[in-house]
Amino acid sequence: MVVVNRDVDVKTAPFYNRGATAFACIFAAGAALSAARALEAGMSTGLVPQVVVRGPASGFAQTVEVGDHHLTADEPLEAGGTDTGPTPYDLLAAALGSCTSMTISYYARRNRWPLESVTVRVGHSRIHAADCKQCDTKEGRVERLELAIELTGPLGAEQRQELLRIAGRCPVHNTLKSEIDIQTSLVDSRPTPSQGSRT
């Protein structure tokens, strides 16, 4: 279960375990970023480009292709990586943060509110389930994502509270809070006998 607390200042909050290697998160992050781009175009989250991740078996560094965009994912030096890009959890946090900011900005523009800019700081930690009153899980640990949102502009108190509420309606937030069905299969990349016999 994912708990999103938008009232915690994560500047001093414990961040995630950067040594955790979870490349499957890249797929989720890439799809989420694509959904955020679609949201910016009109709050529509239809078909998104396929995310392709490639990397040598000799290390952690990965190249990520999302449509025409190219990213790099890696692990830090202390975890055995080469630190050439953000970690999978960095990308997941970036997906949530960017989607949240886009959702707030879109809502403010639609209502012609004087919002000038949005800053979202995202932290990820693991907490004891007993410390999470709203969690269904009561034993072990749960994942916590903490968002600290800074709104710049001459907004009224009610407008600021409404934008805080609307932040929880971003598509990535909804995806992380919902049941997720991940299906994984192998694709045979070996040449067929006819291909192998060609000269």
- The answer for residues whose C-beta is within 8 angstroms of residue 174's C-beta and 6 or more apart is none
The answer to whether position 191 is within a domain reads no
Structural domains counted in the chain: 1
Tens digits of residue pLDDT in 73-97: 999 999 999 999 999 999 999 999 9
The answer to whether position 183 is within a domain reads no
Tens digits of residue pLDDT in 150-170: 999 999 999 999 999 999 999
CB 8 within 8 A of CB 148: yes
Instruction: Please state the pTM of the whole predicted model.
Output: 0.71
The answer to whether position 189 is within a domain reads no
The answer to whether position 44 is within a domain reads yes
Residue 126: which H helix or E strand, with range?
strand 117-128
Identity of the residue numbered 6: R
Determine the Cα–Cα distance for residues 3 and 144; give it in Å rounded to an integer. 5
| Packing angle, helices 88-110 and 24-42, rounded to 10 | 10
Indicate the Cα dihedral angle 88, 1, 10, 119, nearest 10°. 70
Domain holding 37: CATH number? Answer: 3.30.300.20
User: Residue 144 pLDDT > 60, yes or no?
Assistant: yes
Q: Which domain holds residue 136?
A: 2-178
Identity of the residue numbered 72: T
CB 115 within 8 A of CB 151: yes
Check residue 126 and give its pLDDT.
81
The answer to whether position 18 is within a domain reads yes
CB 96 within 8 A of CB 145: yes
How deeply is 76 buried, as exposed, middle or buried, from its count of CB atoms within 10 A (0-12, 13-18, 19+)?
A: middle
